[in-house]
Amino acid sequence: MNAFTRIGKKFDLDYVRPLAPSDQTVEYEKLAYANWRTLQNPIAVTDNGFAFSQAGIALNEFNFGYITAAERDATLERLKTLDNRGQISDYLLANPVSTQYNLTLSGSTGRMSNIVSLMYEDNQSNFKETTNKRYMVNFRTNAEVFNWMNFNFSGMLYANQARNNGVGLSDIQGMSPYDMLVNTDGSYTDINRYYTPIINRLVPTSKFPYANWNYNPINEIANRDLRTDQLNTRLQAGFNFKIIKGLTFDTKGQFELFNTFNKGIYNDNTFYVRQIVNQATSWNQSTNVMTPNLPKGSILNQSRSKAQSYNWRNQVNYNNVFAQKHEVTALAGAEINNVVTEFFGNPTTYGYNDQTLTTGIFPNGPGGTFFQIKNWMGSNQTFSYVNTYSYGTERYFSAYANAAYTYSKKYTLSGSYRTDASNLITDDPKYRYAPFWSVGLGWQIYKENFMSTIKWIDRMNVRATFGYNGNVDRSTSFRPLIATAGSQNIYTGDYTATVSSFGNPTLRWEKTRTWNIGLDYSLFRGKLYGKIDVYNKYGKDLIAQLSIPAINGTTSQRLNNAEMSNRGIELELGTHMKITRALTWRGNLNFSYNKNTIEKLFIATYAASTLYSGGTGAYVVGEDANSLWRFVYAGVINNQPSVYGADGTTYTFAAFTPGDGRDYMKNTGTLVAPYTLGFSSAFQYKDFNLSFMLTGKFGHVFQRLGFNYPPTWASRVLPNVKLSEVMNGKATDIVPLPYNPNEGRYYFWDRFHRYLSYLVENASHVRMQEINLNYTLPKSLLSRFNMSRLQLYAQGNDLFTIYANKAKEDPEYPLGTMNPRPKITFGIKCEF
């Protein structure tokens, strides 16, 4: 039996939502509104969707004469004093807690063994009202039916109940730092989802189906029921037949079924329901007559998905020794695998009552060409009323054989061969079937006579392999594919379709040629052990995004056109030392280095946006596949921030840069660490065990958070925490705020400021993954309670990280994302 509880800290709001404080935010909003507006100021009823912040509303209301300067200034000064971090933490966030219980029962006779295990887990996420419960049952049996036949069977049943009523990270990140959730009297605030003064002045809200147009996330959480339930099962069975000495036959089958059920109910106290129903209402603005087009009541969304797979493998095994010097091991087999995935989506149900299980109807139909229905702003609208479906299948076939010959227990020659096929590859057999093979040599050098005098070497094996393996890429297709709409177009009455893939007529397996040389060793009677591996991999026919002439119907397509090399070394060093009679130490150090290079690829020219977006489209011959391409900042020229182009030319942020991006963009380094390090250590003192594990990654880069330069748009202005960096920085080193009043192209700056080389930092870091402390009670004490083992343990995870970058950001979880927080686990294990 094993039981534990893991408790974590609430996430750091300043890290996941790195906004400027309220006073700086308000001052920036004043600057942005006065100088860098990119849209007209909201004033008409059609501008209701401009969800300005409270500061933006005050500035705009004064601009149009609806409030006085004193009222504006009083509002802005009040907002500067507000800070919603405390309320967000209290009302929306939770300490993540996970509690798990495991029970294992086993028994056996001379010819049969059985084991069953039960698991229950209860999880509270980082967000209140977002939880899940997991249940799992495993059963396994092995039986010797006859002397020549064994039977094994295993089964798994898994259930997961997730409740997702809480907010998400984006909900919190979209709030201004002064947007409070609760007023001083405890009532809920209204966090603008509209331009509120327009709603109050120009919209007769009381005549709509719902008079309340307010939004507050606390209220949303309390009035919705969002569930995802999973029910999965796996069954495995197999026979082993002993034919003659050394020769056996295995046949194994596996069936899996995964079901997911999604159900979301929003009652009409939620803004979600009120907004949908109100906005769907036809409003005659001249008479203020409302015509509801959706029924009042809850809204229900439902869908389910199913994945079903089977696998059947048959294998012949042979293992024998001849004349005490010749050992032969061989196997051959075939395997088929089939996976079918299905999705079923129900149309949204309006006017739903979960108590009576009744639904509403469309009072005026679902809309369409002949029966047009207007929404509240006078635009045509339609309502979906049909189910949606999707179906996918993947089939694989493999035939394989392995053989090894060992002479005198010292020299080994091995080989393997397999051929694979998939329905994802072309139907042309020349491309569909892909033979892969490998050969290997092994030498247990420590068994040689000339090594017998070297007493400090316990074991030393030299090995070498060479061969090919493959991979199937699921992101493309050998034929052009179309995606059809699930129902007839409501205006034309016809079925419509779009081209989802233009096809790769020579689609084939990605192939990798690999050679590996390795050494396994154990020294000083096991006090020092480990291995060394050196490898060289060369990939051919890799899928890459290529530019093609537009006459083909698209300007890019994924084709088997790239070649890449991977070279590296892996080292492992372990030790086991008895320091005193009661104290022992185990340590293990792992180190690896990898360097990849794009060796072959034809792309005529690269747009700058292609390079800075990354992915296979940014593969460049001679460069690392994970290169981070960035503009080089050129300072401010003629009052405009600029970047360097080819041959030292400069281009401002006002327009895209021309030419081939390779001529002027900088490869700032690789995003994937070429050097990785892992170190684990364990001390055993009597019945106490203390261990820890460190990991390190070195030699790569990441992009830190830079200022986001937000213009006034149709929603909140949310300057991030780097505002002070810009205000206090030099324009020669960092992009300043616009120099020009009424900078009309300020909205265009995000094509550049997010992709500048000065934001790139060293990503090297060392992370304390975990620390464990265990205590096992003495058996002399446990025997009184008929227990064979009782262990108490505590574990700490993600306790700290040491960064090499000056920004002090976690390279794997940059500012604005959820970084791992320290977690503490307490548990107990017992055996009877």
274 SS3 class: helix
Pairing of strands 380-381, 388-407: unpaired
pLDDT of residue 474: 67
Q: Measure the CA angle with vertex 676, ends 672 and 678; round to 5°.
A: 145
Using an 8 Å Cβ cutoff, are 760 and 750 in contact?
Answer: no
* Closest C-alpha among 381, 351, 347 to residue 366: 381
pLDDT of residue 496: 78
Structural domain containing residue 60: 13-93+167-209+708-754
* Closest C-alpha among 442, 445, 455, 499 to residue 476: 499
Strand boundaries in 15-165, DSSP class E: 97-108, 112-124, 130-146, 149-164
List average pLDDT for each run of 10 residues in the chain, which is 832 residues long: 95 95 96 76 80 92 93 98 97 97 93 96 97 98 95 98 96 96 96 92 95 97 98 98 95 98 98 97 94 97 97 96 93 96 96 95 88 92 91 92 95 94 68 83 92 90 94 70 66 70 73 95 93 95 74 72 93 94 95 96 88 91 96 94 94 92 96 97 95 97 95 83 94 93 83 95 96 91 82 95 93 93 95 86
Which residue's structure tokens are 């990849």?
Answer: 596
* Residue 342 belongs to some domain of the structure: no
* Closest C-alpha among 127, 153, 149 to residue 139: 153
Q: Measure the CA angle with vertex 816, ends 475 and 755; round to 5°.
A: 65
Using an 8 Å Cβ cutoff, are 770 and 797 in contact?
Answer: yes
* Closest C-alpha among 378, 381, 379, 202 to residue 283: 378
Give the count of beta carbons closer than 10 Å to the beta carbon of residue 187: 9
In terms of Cβ atoms closer than 10 Å to its own Cβ (0-12, 13-18, 19+), residue 225 is: middle
- Close Cβ partners of 666 (under 8 Å, ≥ 6 residues apart): 629, 630, 631, 632, 757
In residues, how long is the chain? 832
Q: Which two tokens stand for residue 205?
A: 């809200």
* Residue 319 belongs to some domain of the structure: no
628 SS3 class: strand
Residue ranges of alpha helices (H) inside 664-751 are: 723-728
β-pair partners for 670:
627
Using an 8 Å Cβ cutoff, are 341 and 391 in contact?
Answer: yes
Phi/psi region, residue 38 (left: phi>0; alpha: psi -120 to 50; beta: rest), is: alpha
Using an 8 Å Cβ cutoff, are 516 and 465 in contact?
Answer: yes
* Closest C-alpha among 41, 9, 243, 269 to residue 149: 243
* Residue 434 belongs to some domain of the structure: no
* Residue 736 belongs to some domain of the structure: yes
Q: Which two tokens stand for residue 572?
A: 């492992």
Total domains in the chain come to: 1
Pairing of strands 380-381, 373-374: antiparallel
* Residue 418 belongs to some domain of the structure: no
Using an 8 Å Cβ cutoff, are 135 and 158 in contact?
Answer: yes
Sign of CA dihedral 724, 729, 731, 735: negative
Q: Which residues of 779-801 are buried (b: 16+ CB within 10 A; e: fewer)?
A: eeebeeeeeeebbebebbbbbeb
Q: How far from 573 is each of 316, 523, 705, CA to CA, in Å? A: 37, 11, 38
The predicted model scores a pTM of: 0.89
* Residue 745 belongs to some domain of the structure: yes
* Residue 513 belongs to some domain of the structure: no
* Residue 589 belongs to some domain of the structure: no
